[in-house]
Structure 1
Amino acid sequence: MAGPLKAEVKKAGEVDASKLAEYDLIGFGSGIYMGKHHKNLLKLADGLPKMDKNAFIFSTSGGANENFKDHKALRAKLEEKGFRIVDEFNCLGWDTFGPLVLIGGFNKGRPDESDLEKARQFAARVAGQ
């Protein structure tokens, strides 16, 4: 996604919240763990100041349906801080949680090239908004 958006990519712990005001559009995403984004991303969202900014949310998840987005917790935190969620993206990801590790996981090989192309198309669409 960074390419079409001409974006900087940072880990949650590397984000300087005071610099976010410089951006027109901010993306927040990670894999989904037990129905939520990574704990470090949720912690970042909790610590953000109120902002009137456009944002998008993205994720990978081990669910059986790539159209199902487990973004509820992150979306609520961002909206509480004043972010407008302009769009959301999810694709399947390799899931080795709990007993799945015994069988080699679920959705092995995902995200694949088709998923990455969909992510690029999503990013191009979001960049045009």
Structure 2
Amino acid sequence: MKAIIVCTSISHGNTKKIADVMGQILDARVVAPEQVDMAELATYDLVGFGSGIYLGSFHLQLRQFVQSLPEGQWGRAFVFGTSGFPDAGPHSFSRPLVRLLEQKGFELVDTFSCRAWDTYLPFKLVGGIRKGRPNVTDLESARTFAEGLRARNSATF
């Protein structure tokens, strides 16, 4: 199985930590959107898309990258994010990106989210929330998630 992770990690490096753990397990390069050649992207069996969450959405750079992809037959994909808040309920932040990827022709296999240090206003005034996250437990959860992806997707390739 050939995998790559497209990651935008801006504020505190939270998402990059998660992406690096997943990349080790999946034997995948972790790259920023501007480092990806679209023709090369089509050669991967599994593509991860992740960023921190800003005002309830994935980073604009990642969203614009996905929007720029042509519709077609892509491989399998997964989505991951780091946020001060959970990815749950009617305000699930992963749902719009998942839908967009499916519209582009990806088969979405799973999503992952973990809490992370968030210093968006007004939280910045008090030093942020979820300081120290992602922690060892979060990184282990990312590892377990990636192991599950590897097991499920290696069986089909």
TM > 0.5 fold call: yes
Alignment counterpart, residue 78 of structure 1, candidates 74, 92, 101: 101
Q: Which secondary structure does the structure 2 equivalent of 1:22 belong to? A: coil
| Matched-pair identity in % | 45
Q: Which secondary structure does the structure 2 equivalent of 1:98 belong to? A: coil
d(CA) in 2 for partners of 1:44, 1:51: 17
Q: Which secondary structure does the structure 1 equivalent of 2:110 belong to? A: strand
d(CA) in 2 for partners of 1:52, 1:7: 17
What is the match of residue 121 of structure 1?
Answer: 144
d(CA) in 1 for partners of 2:44, 2:29: 11
Instruction: Report the Cα offset of residue 128 of structure 1.
Output: 1.3
Alignment map for 1:23-38 (pairs within 5 Å): 23-38=44-59
Instruction: Report the Cα offset of residue 52 of structure 1.
Output: 3.0
d(CA) in 2 for partners of 1:51, 1:74: 17
Is the aligned partner of 1:4 residue 2:21? Answer: no
Alpha-carbon deviations, 1:68-113, whole Å to 9, x = none? Answer: 3511221121011011110000000111111110100010000001
- Using the size of structure 1 for normalisation, the TM-score is 0.94
Gaps of 5+ in 1: none
d(CA) in 2 for partners of 1:82, 1:52: 5
Is the aligned partner of 1:87 residue 2:138? Answer: no
> How many residues in Structure 1 have an aligned counterpart in Structure 2?
127
d(CA) in 2 for partners of 1:123, 1:10: 17
Q: Which secondary structure does the structure 2 equivalent of 1:119 belong to? A: helix
RMSD, aligned CA: 1.1
Q: Which secondary structure does the structure 2 equivalent of 1:108 belong to? A: coil
d(CA) in 2 for partners of 1:121, 1:6: 14
d(CA) in 2 for partners of 1:7, 1:24: 11
Amino acid at match of 2:75: K
d(CA) in 2 for partners of 1:99, 1:58: 25
Q: Which secondary structure does the structure 1 equivalent of 2:78 belong to? A: strand
d(CA) in 2 for partners of 1:106, 1:73: 25
What is the match of residue 13 of structure 1?
Answer: 34
d(CA) in 1 for partners of 2:44, 2:116: 29
What is the match of residue 83 of structure 2?
Answer: 61
Amino acid at match of 1:45: V
What is the match of residue 44 of structure 1?
Answer: 65
- Using the size of structure 2 for normalisation, the TM-score is 0.78
